[in-house]
């Protein structure tokens, strides 16, 4: 085992030999190697075999159907497409964003703001004058509280329904305007441009110098019911009937305004559940009993209840359920 060569010990590795199969060996010894000292050792790792059909030694055999089956499994991160590189913010890009104009939408600079006249359901309202024609208009600023969610769905409903409702007793939507802020990071602000009306019913009733005659009350109620009939026949609910939303022109024509809470009326289909709506609508003084009790399936009756409250208010000059 030890040989002295030049005064140095030469250690030879222990020799391993296969065990003899004499019939008495156990199954464990059959798959092991025998050390020269008589003990059993685990077999050394064998080099991978180059199987036919494999691409590299040691890889699994690629069967013809493996290529078809690979499409059913998701690709790993390394196999997926490379992420797209974000374009750099250049002065040309910033200039394009600052000067971008939405098609078919005018700039609000075409109008001169005069004063703030109210706060609508979902935005501020300003009195303004068109610089070209001199016509007075009402600019309703759309509040963008959740800018990440995009344009408010309530404003989209209002625009779509007012475009559908062209009637003499319903307020007129002229156009939509936009206003870009000075900073390129600020989002664009949108305005709804309405025809301007000099009075609203709540303001007239609160003025002690304004006295309504019986024939004037009848005329106003006729205009109000005609406007509601047009809305309901178009399968639309107003859902915010109150004296402050009743506009009156200088000619004495009543106009229904503020469609911020309005929505289309669902059709009840046979075999389907009755559609439900939110009950958090209508100002409290004009809210019908079913909404106060939490009802969610209602119809045009909630607007008619508000019309009745307004009719009584024409005589009492104050909300009867306040």
Residues that are catalytic:
240
Write the CA distances from 37 to 17, 29, 34, integer angstroms.
Answer: 11, 15, 8
Distance between CA 160 and CA 156 in Å, rounded?
6
Distance between CA 58 and CA 63 in Å, rounded?
15
DSSP3 helix / strand / coil % (the chain, rounded to 5): 30, 20, 50
**16-17 and 111-119 as β-strands: parallel, antiparallel, unpaired?**
unpaired
Query: How buried is residue 265: exposed, middle or buried, by Cβ count under 10 Å (0-12/13-18/19+)?
Result: middle
242 marked as part of a ligand binding site: no
**The pair of three-digit structure tokens given for residue 161, joined into one six-digit string:** 């329904």
The annotated binding site for ATP is made up of 140
Binding site members: 140
């Amino acid at each position: 085992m030890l040989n002295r060569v030049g005064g140095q010990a030469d250690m030879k590795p222990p020799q391993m030999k296969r065990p003899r199969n004499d019939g008495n060996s156990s199954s464990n010894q059959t798959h092991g190697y025998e050390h020269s000292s008589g003990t059993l050792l685990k077999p050394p790792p064998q080099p991978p075999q180059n199987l036919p059909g494999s691409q590299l030694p040691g890889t699994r055999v690629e069967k013809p159907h493996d290529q078809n089956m690979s499409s059913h499994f998701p690709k790993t991160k390394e196999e997926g497409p490379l992420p797209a590189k974000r374009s750099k913010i250049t002065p040309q890009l910033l200039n394009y964003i600052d000067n971008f104009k939405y098609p078919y939408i005018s700039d609000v600079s075409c109008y001169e703001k005069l004063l703030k006249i109210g706060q609508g359901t979902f935005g501020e309202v300003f009195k303004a004058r068109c610089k070209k024609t001199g016509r007075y208009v009402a600019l309703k600023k759309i509040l963008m509280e959740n800018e990440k969610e995009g344009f408010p769905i309530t404003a989209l409903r209002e625009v779509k329904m007012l475009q559908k409702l062209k009637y003499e007793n319903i307020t007129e939507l002229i156009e939509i305007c936009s206003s870009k802020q000075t900073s390129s990071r600020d989002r664009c602000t949108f305005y709804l441009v309405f025809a301007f009306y000099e009075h609203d019913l709540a303001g007239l009733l609160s003025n002690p110098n304004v006295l309504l005659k019986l024939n004037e009350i009848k005329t106003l109620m006729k205009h109000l019911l005609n406007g509601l009939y047009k809305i309901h026949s178009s399968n639309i609910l107003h859902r915010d009937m109150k004296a402050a939303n009743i506009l009156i022109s200088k000619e004495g024509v009543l106009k229904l305004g503020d469609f911020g809470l309005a929505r289309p009326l669902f059709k009840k289909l046979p075999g389907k559940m009755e559609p439900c709506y939110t009950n958090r609508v209508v100002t409290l003084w004009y809210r019908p009993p079913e909404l106060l009790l939490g009802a969610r399936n209602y119809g045009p009756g909630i607007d008619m209840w508000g019309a009745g409250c307004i009719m009584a208010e024409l005589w009492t000059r104050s909300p009867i359920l306040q």
